[in-house]
Amino acid sequence: MNGIEERYHTVLSKIYHAAQQANRQPQGITLVAVTKTWPVEVILAAYTAGMRHFGENRAEELAEKRPLVEAKLGPDSGIVWHFIGSLQSRKTNLIADYADVFHALDRVKIANRLSSRLQENGRSLPIFIEVNVSGEASKSGVTLINWEEDTTQREKLRKLWAAVHELPGLSLQGLMTMAPWHVPEAEIRQVFDHAKQLAGWLENELGLKRPLALSMGMTDDYELAIAAGATHIRVGRALFGERH
Ligand SMILES: *Cc1c(COP(=O)(O)O)cnc(C)c1O
């Protein structure tokens, strides 16, 4: 498990260099260590190495691991739990109860359910809206493949944003996206640039003074994502090795 610390430092230095290349502050990039499928011991080793943001993509797995980690480290460990997977409506309570950040909101129905549970709990949940700008049919998220030309696609995002904005307990942060797998680097860059431009359009549309957060980039493409403006990268294999 010593490998974790070494891998962590390699990833940190790549983040640092990618940020420098892009004239950005490395502190402006949050590394979410994706611990899905890994046991609690791996999370504890990652914590010892210095990681504080952890990402899970199955609601039950988050609900199981978080209390186990808290039993070891206490409630004030400084850990932030990110739920990065898509969420079915019957599992919204688990996420309202156990996640600190939700990256993959794509429907108002889920937002409504999260909001009522959060109000019951007196909690609040930072939210990213997941957008599909890559054109891959299988991808989750709000379809924004042709957002530049297609007013309907843009309206759908603007309406979802406005609806979520009204809901107590949900605090909108920005957009999340996934690049397609197994495509040339140039195509991945295009997808990330496309997402960044979409965020720019939305900022303008909403009259925001600060840029929106952008959750994008995984093990194989996080440096490209940083070049395009990612503020949150979600990295698993580069830190923990291949999942089984
Ligand atoms: C698994 C996963 C990641 C991390 O993938 P790696 O290739 O292991 O870095 C990032 N985002 C989401 C949504 C995931 O499900």
**Mean pLDDT per 10-residue section of the chain, whose length is 244 residues:** 88 98 98 98 98 98 98 96 96 98 98 98 97 80 94 97 98 96 93 97 94 97 98 98 92
Dump the DSSP string for 116-183. HHHHHHT--EEEEEEEE-S--TT--SEE-TTTTT-HHHHHHHHHHHHHHHHSTTEEEEEEE--PPSS-
**Hey, whose CA ends up nearest to atom 11 of ligand 1?**
234
Ligand 1 in reach of 11 Cβ (< 6 A): no
CA 86 to centroid of ligand 1, rounded, Å:
12
- Predicted local distance difference test score (pLDDT) of residue 138: 62
CA–CA distance, 197 with 203 (Å, rounded to integer): 10
Ligand 1 in reach of 57 Cβ (< 6 A): yes
Three-state DSSP state, 35? coil
Tell me the residue range of the domain where 50 lies: 3-240
Q: How many domains does the chain have?
A: 1
* CATH code for position 180: 3.20.20.10
CA distances from 187 to 21, 182, 184, 190, 220 (A): 20, 10, 5, 5, 13
Angle between helices 40-49 and 59-73 (to 10 degrees): 60
CA 58 to centroid of ligand 1, rounded, Å:
12
Ligand 1 in reach of 234 Cβ (< 6 A): yes
CA 207 to centroid of ligand 1, rounded, Å:
32
